[in-house]
């Protein structure tokens, strides 16, 4: 029964996560003792929504239940709360499309169970125990705080969780037009690991260009709310990183559709555009007033080609919403 077990009050934990757009990796050279350095932003949709309550056996219902069960078992094994949970997954972020579903799902499960069983653990600790944060901690910070986030890369000499070096709220009147075309999903898990292993280190001058674009253009533009400069820097960052990944993803972007769609977004007045992670999702950044018009035209473009979804998202600047009811 899920009712009050051993006479305990029935507690329910509700969790709703943001999604994340991955805007780039700063340094894929690694000769300074750190590698990667992720840039990302939390967006308000799609979301993972789940509810957890105590139960005599571990039961998972809803979407992506195998994955949820695996994370729940990992948590129960690690923290041994001497109880089980019933988890109802009400909404998910589709997997392997570049919107950060893996980390958000892992942390939604771990955080809901930590709250349920009174386990005191930081979000970073939970992420590590769930096997997240192997390359970047952007998704973990977005889960916890939302906003625009940069991490300082992964230490190459020892296992440490990548440290967040910048986090700021993203302008509320800027919007992302997010397009998810019906094409091959992005690289994930073993394929992704193999892709990183295949690549030779980024040239130092390319990594230097990424750092300059980030420190001297992208971040000042964000702080000053200068969408034009922000968009220019973002587009250039995306081209540098896309060219570096071209040998494993088949071009600057993972699909012809993304390439054409990004070009279309720029023509339609998006200030900047790129591909999220390994794709297939691509996005453009614009002012709130222009978003709907660009969305409709990108929708028409996809309808005529491969099909897919297009939506407008704004930033999530608060992280995951958690509600505990007794």
Task: Specify the pLDDT at position 186.
Answer: 86
- Range of lowest pLDDT (83-87, 156-160, 174-178, 209-213): 156-160
Q: Is the pLDDT of residue 153 over 60?
A: yes
Asked if pLDDT for residue 8 goes beyond 80, the answer is: no
Does the pLDDT at position 231 exceed 50? yes
Q: What is the pLDDT of residue 3?
A: 47
Q: Between 198 and 23, whose confidence is greater?
A: 23
Q: What is the pLDDT of residue 7?
A: 46
- pLDDT exceeds cutoff 70 at 13: yes
- Give the lowest-confidence range in 14-18, 198-202, 272-276, 277-281: 198-202
Instruction: Look at residue 268 in the predicted model and tell me its pLDDT.
Output: 98
pLDDT of residue 275: 98
* Res. 304: pLDDT tops 80: yes
- Given a cut of 50, whether residue 1 has pLDDT beyond it is no
- Which residues are CB-neighbours of 226 under 8 A, at least 6 positions away? 220
Mean pLDDT score, 208-230: 98
* Predicted confidence (pLDDT) at residue 4 exceeds the cutoff of 60: no
Sheet strand arrangement including 272-275:
272-275, 282-287, 174-181, 308-313
Task: Evaluate if residue 5 carries a pLDDT over 70.
Answer: no
Q: How many domains does the chain have?
A: 1
For residue 292, the model assigns a pLDDT of 98
Q: What range does the domain containing 226 cover?
A: 5-325
Average pLDDT over residues 147-162: 96
Q: What is the pLDDT of residues 100-137, one digit of tens each?
A: 999 999 999 999 999 999 999 999 999 999 999 999 99
- Does residue 271 or residue 188 have the better pLDDT? 271
Length of the chain: 326
Alpha helices in the chain (DSSP H): 65-79, 101-117, 123-129, 138-145, 189-198, 204-213, 219-223, 227-249, 256-267, 288-304
**Burial degree of 88 (CB within 10 A; 0-12, 13-18, 19+):** middle
Q: Both tokens of residue 106? A: 């892992």
Give the model's pLDDT for residue 308: 97
pLDDT value of position 188? 82
pLDDT value at 168 more than 90: yes
Q: How many CB atoms lie within 10 A of CB 312?
A: 17
β-partners of residue 272 are: 285
pLDDT surpassing 50 at residue 38:
yes
Alpha-carbon torsion, ordered 260, 295, 283, 250, to 10 deg: -30
Q: Is 218 left (phi over 0), alpha (psi -120 to 50) or beta?
A: alpha
């Amino acid at each position: 029964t899920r009712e009050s077990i051993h006479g305990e009050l029935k507690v329910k934990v509700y969790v709703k996560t943001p999604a994340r757009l991955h805007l780039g990796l700063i340094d894929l050279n690694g000769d300074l003792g750190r590698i990667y350095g992720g840039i990302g932003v939390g967006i308000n949709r799609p979301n993972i929504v789940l509810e957890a309550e105590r139960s005599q056996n571990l039961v998972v219902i809803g979407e992506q239940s195998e994955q949820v069960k695996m994370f729940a078992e990992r948590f129960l094994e690690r923290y041994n709360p001497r109880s089980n949970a019933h988890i109802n997954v009400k909404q998910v972020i589709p997997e392997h499309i570049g919107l950060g579903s893996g980390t958000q799902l892992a942390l939604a499960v771990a955080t809901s169970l930590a709250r349920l069983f009174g386990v005191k653990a930081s979000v970073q600790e939970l992420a590590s125990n769930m096997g997240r944060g192997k390359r970047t901690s952007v998704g973990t910070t977005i889960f916890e705080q939302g906003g625009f986030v940069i991490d300082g890369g992964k230490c190459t000499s020892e296992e440490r969780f990548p440290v967040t070096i910048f986090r700021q709220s993203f302008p509320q009147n800027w919007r992302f037009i997010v397009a998810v075309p019906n094409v091959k999903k992005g690289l994930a898990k073993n394929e992704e690991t193999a892709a990183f292993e295949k690549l030779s280190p980024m040239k130092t001058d390319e990594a230097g260009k990424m750092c300059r674009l980030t420190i001297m253009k992208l971040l000042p533009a964000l702080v000053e709310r200068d969408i034009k400069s922000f968009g220019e820097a973002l587009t250039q960052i995306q081209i540098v990183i896309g060219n570096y990944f071209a040998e494993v993803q088949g071009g600057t972007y993972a699909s012809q559709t993304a390439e054409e769609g990004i070009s279309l977004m720029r023509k339609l007045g998006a200030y900047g555009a790129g591909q999220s992670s390994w794709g297939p999702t691509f996005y453009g950044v614009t002012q709130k007033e222009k978003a709907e018009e660009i969305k409709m035209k990108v929708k028409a473009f996809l309808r005529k080609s491969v099909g897919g979804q297009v939506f407008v998202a704004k930033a999530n600047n608060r992280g995951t919403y958690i509600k505990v009811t007794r």
